[in-house]
């Protein structure tokens, strides 16, 4: 079958100089892509993925961007990054090698594989830089489709800045009157992901300035498009979203990846519609090619037919671009071929410079080790101990930091019977190197700025002698009313607006503050979370509601892969201080059990995780998080909204210090460590135990992340010498997590007179009804019996058997 390659004739004039600059960039980008694969196969790089075959469409996209715009892309968008000046080719190769110095890889400090780009929006102190003066890359992410939810939020922020005059005092660093466009890119196979389709729908509902680009190369790794997409075309599949004269929706463009004039016009039109009319757009770029296949992990010759491979050669966008330039009379073939040759030389130069810089950073520590090794050799006269280690190190063509640490540790083990100055020097060298490596590879898990919520001290609730008792929901309602006076704060979620959320904690607030401050959304947790993440990247402070905790698993990949690790994976370059609000704990029923805490805290490292026992504590936790610049989760107790609480006389000043447990009841015989709704269960059990002559100290940890920063639980155990960790997660879940924190990290084991115990829920989802709750999760009797048995083991005569 013969394929036709007829270029569009849009009737516009092209600047010859810009065209030639575009060709040079396309040629250089291709040359760099080809080198990445070679570097992986040479062993100098771990893994490579590249944007070859997508150069032309990316150039057209970049040319339609303006300063202040955003690109939320995936791992093939190198040409965009260079075109907008946010990426240099030395940085591209530095990231390939994993250079952990932000001076060389400012996008991730070596923490992400190549082609994951991120504009540094934070200065060295963690303060916001001006996003309106730059072309902005939202931190790249590999998880397929996950770049689209936060893109939705980035575009939504433009709508907020445009339509809300009260944000004008806060907009200087983040918006130019809402005229920014967020471009997001995705491979055609990944459009099968639910999160992409959900965001397309949300964009059509919200009418925000976003442009979706689909690079359609006909495959998802090895699986062809007919197995991926209805009608084998995402633009055909989404035709129902096309706007009409009477109905809002999205505008859909389809253009060929090798058609330079068609691409230029399509992106100019899409960018104008999004920027000026707030019409979301989809640009479906078809007939893309992948000259080297998906990545360095395999060869596409294994699954593509000879006919398809020939098409990819013929339809190569760079080849067709050259043809169009010649047809247009802009240049000639010999000039263009010379540019191709020069591009390969230039690419090789950038690659060599980047690799040399990476090796030089390691060489400093390597020379330090070799000096110490020689000192050991000379001072101990034990060549048999050091020579094998040096030989192993010298056999490595390209030693990296871990090789040096490995050699240092082996050397210390080998010379463990020597305690001279050289051994002490080696210990000091290794300690310093470990400190530097911790900074290189483990820093910025949380904010390190002066605004970190970890700096905020607690302000405890104060009460009148005879405080008024109110429903817990009223305490939150009054607190949220105060939070919303900050123009940057807004609340998103299902049913939060008109009815004031399903538990009435927001009752009446939409009427006071308006629908852009308290906003109802559809049932679409992924895009709700995306709206919050993206908006928080642009200086806003969203509180995003997941109606019930169990629903958090719908957006969990976004929360874990994007939100929680953003600050870490950009080495402190970007942050998203969104607050996720939800409710859980003692819910009834299999799908509303509400306590999978261990899953959450282990999947959301990089987020503060708050588990208040009542609404007064919850209010203080929100206030602390809003005063800081880290992301946070607050899990409210569902059964606490209508329970009576005393109204504090300083409610609007309460702050909860993160990572600081609170002693709810003092005791001498045994410590119970718990949180959330279990606090009420444990306190009732403590009263029963007191009647039996057992004095229990009850500790509410308040936050699971961070956990007991000052080791207050250890202090309690030093007094009681017994501990029970109680929660309603499954066995081996958060109770085991708390036990490890206290026994391993706090060193409490040596203070125990009895084995530490855990009390958790049954190893299944809770059955429905109050009986289901009682028999599935810890109850008062469980707590009493467990504590009693622990005391009986220590003193059987004082605590005789009850049930046998």
**Segment 728-786, tens digit of pLDDT:** 999 999 999 999 999 999 999 999 999 999 999 999 988 888 898 899 999 999 999 99
Pairing of β 469-471 and β 644-646: antiparallel
Distance of CA 738 to the CA centre of its chain: 24
Residue 668, CB-side half-sphere exposure with 13 Å CA sphere: 3
Does an H or E element contain 320, and which?
helix 317-327
pLDDT the model gives residue 2: 60
Average pLDDT, the chain: 95
With the CA atoms of 174, 177, 178 and 180 taken in that order, what torsion angle do they form, in degrees rounded to the nearest 10? -70
| 333: number of Cβ within 10 Å | 11
Residue 234: is its pLDDT beyond 90? Answer: yes
Residue 458: is its pLDDT beyond 60? Answer: yes
| Confidence category of residue 535, pLDDT binned at 50, 70, 90 | very high
From residue 798, alpha-carbon distances to 694, 789, 801 in Å are: 11, 11, 10
CB burial class (10 A; 0-12, 13-18, 19+) of residue 9?
Answer: exposed
Residue 532 contacts residue 492 (beta carbons within 8 Å): yes
Residue 152 contacts residue 527 (beta carbons within 8 Å): yes
- For 118, residues 6+ apart whose C-beta sits below 8 A from its C-beta are 107, 108, 137, 138, 139, 140, 569, 570, 573, 574
Q: What are phi and psi of 167, to 5 degrees?
A: -85, -5
| pTM given for the model | 0.95
Between vectors from CA 424 to CA 423 and to CA 427, what angle results, nearest 5°? 90
Catalytic residue positions?
A: 592
Mean pLDDT over residues 544-562, rounded? 95
| Confidence category of residue 143, pLDDT binned at 50, 70, 90 | confident
At residue 382, the 3 state secondary structure works out as: coil
pLDDT the model gives residue 504: 94
pLDDT the model gives residue 451: 96
Distance, in Å, from the CA atom of 184 to the CA atom of 70, rounded to the nearest integer, reads 8
Residue 293: is its pLDDT beyond 90? Answer: no
Kindly state the percentage of the chain with pLDDT values over 70. Answer: 100
Radius of gyration of the chain (CA): 30
Residue 1: is its pLDDT beyond 50? Answer: no
DSSP readout, 514-542? -TTTEEE--S-HHHHHHHHHHHHTTT-EE
Q: Using one digit for the tens of pLDDT, what is the confidence trace for 653-691?
A: 999 999 999 999 999 999 999 999 999 999 999 999 999
Place of tokens 């530490």: 756
Kindly state the percentage of the chain with pLDDT values over 90. Answer: 90
- Angle in degrees, 0-180, between the axes of helices 401-414 and 383-394, rounded to the nearest 10: 170
């Amino acid at each position: 079958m013969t394929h036709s390659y007829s270029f569009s004739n849009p009737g516009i004039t092209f600047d010859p100089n810009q065209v030639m600059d575009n060709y040079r960039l396309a040629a250089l980008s291709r040359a760099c892509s080809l080198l990445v694969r070679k570097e992986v196969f040479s062993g100098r790089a771990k893994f490579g993925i590249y944007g070859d075959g997508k150069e032309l469409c990316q150039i057209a996209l970049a040319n339609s961007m303006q300063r202040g715009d955003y690109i939320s892309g995936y791992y093939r968008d190198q040409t965009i990054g260079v075109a907008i000046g946010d990426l240099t080719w030395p940085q591209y190769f530095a990231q390939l090698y994993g250079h952990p110095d932000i001076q060389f890889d400012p996008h991730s400090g070596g923490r992400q594989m190549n082609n994951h780009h991120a504009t540094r929006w934070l200065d060295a102190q963690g303060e916001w830089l001006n996003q309106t003066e730059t072309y902005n890359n939202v931190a790249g992410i590999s998880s397929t489709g996950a770049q689209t939810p936060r893109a939705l939020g980035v575009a939504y922020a433009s709508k907020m800045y445009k339509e809300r005059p009260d944000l004008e005092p806060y907009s200087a660093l983040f918006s130019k009157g809402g005229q920014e466009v967020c471009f997001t890119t995705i491979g055609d196979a990944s459009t099968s992901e639910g999160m992409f389709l959900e965001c397309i729908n949300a964009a059509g509902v919200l009418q925000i300035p976003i442009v979706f680009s689909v690079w359609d190369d006909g495959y998802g790794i090895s699986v062809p498009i007919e197995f991926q997409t209805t009608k084998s075309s995402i633009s055909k599949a989404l035709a129902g979203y096309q706007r009409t004269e009477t109905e809002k929706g999205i505008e859909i463009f389809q253009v060929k990846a090798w058609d330079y004039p068609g691409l230029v016009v399509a992106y100019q039109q899409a960018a104008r519609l999004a920027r000026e009319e707030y019409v979301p757009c989809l640009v479906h770029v078809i007939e893309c090619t992948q000259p080297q296949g998906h990545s360095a992990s395999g060869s596409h010759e294994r699954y593509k037919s000879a006919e398809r491979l020939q098409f990819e050669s013929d339809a190569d966008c760079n080849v067709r671009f050259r043809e169009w330039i010649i047809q247009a009379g802009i240049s000639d073939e010999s000039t263009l071929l010379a540019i191709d040759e020069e591009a390969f030389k230039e690419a090789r130069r950038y690659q060599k410079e980047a690799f040399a810089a990476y090796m030089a950073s390691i060489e400093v520590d390597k020379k330090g080790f070799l000096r110490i090794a020689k000192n050991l050799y000379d001072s101990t006269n034990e060549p048999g101990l050091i020579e094998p280690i040096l030989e192993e190190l010298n056999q490595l063509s390209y030693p990296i930091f871990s090789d040096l640490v490995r050699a240092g540790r082996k050397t210390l083990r080998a010379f463990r019977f020597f305690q001279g100055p050289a051994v002490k020097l080696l210990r000091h060298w290794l300690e310093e190197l470990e400190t530097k490596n911790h900074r290189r590879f483990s820093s910025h898990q949380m904010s390190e700025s002066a605004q970190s919520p970890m700096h905020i001290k607690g302000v405890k609730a104060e009460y009148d002698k005879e405080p008024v008792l109110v429903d817990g929901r009223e305490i939150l309602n009054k607190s949220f009313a105060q939070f919303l006076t900050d123009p940057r704060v807004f609340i998103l979620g299902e049913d939060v607006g008109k009815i004031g959320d399903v538990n009435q904690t927001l009752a009446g607030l939409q009427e006071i503050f308006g629908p852009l401050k308290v906003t109802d959304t559809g049932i679409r947790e992924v895009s709700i979370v995306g709206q919050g993440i993206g908006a928080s990247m642009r200086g806003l402070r969203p509180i995003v509601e997941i109606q019930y905790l169990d629903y958090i698993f719908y957006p969990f990949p976004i929360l874990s892969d994007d939100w929680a690790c953003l600050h870490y994976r950009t080495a402190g370059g970007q942050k998203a201080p969104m607050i996720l609000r939800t409710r859980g704990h003692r819910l009834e029923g299999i799908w509303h059990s509400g306590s999978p805490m261990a899953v959450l805290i282990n999947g959301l490292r990089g987020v503060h995780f708050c588990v208040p026992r009542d609404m007064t504590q919850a209010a203080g936790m929100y206030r602390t998080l809003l005063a800081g610049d880290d992301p946070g989760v607050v899990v409210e107790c569902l059964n606490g909204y209508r329970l009576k609480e005393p109204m504090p006389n300083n409610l609007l000043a309460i702050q909860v210090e993160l990572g600081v447990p609170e002693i709810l009841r003092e005791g001498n015989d045994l410590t119970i460590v718990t949180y959330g709704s279990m606090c009420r269960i444990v306190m009732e059990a403590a009263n029963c135990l007191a009647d039996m002559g057992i004095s229990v100290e009850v500790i509410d940890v308040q936050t699971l992340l961070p956990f007991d920063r000052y080791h207050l639980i250890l202090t309690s155990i030093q007094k009681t010498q017994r501990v029970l960790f109680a929660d309603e997660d499954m066995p081996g879940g958060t109770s085991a997590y708390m036990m490890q924190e206290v026994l391993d990290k706090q060193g409490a084991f040596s203070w125990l007179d009895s084995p530490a115990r855990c009390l958790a829920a049954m190893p299944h989802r809770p059955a429905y009804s109050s009986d289901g709750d009682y028999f599935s999760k810890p109850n008062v009797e469980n707590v009493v019996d467990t504590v009693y048995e622990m005391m009986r083991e220590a003193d059987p005569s004082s605590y005789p058997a009850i049930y046998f």
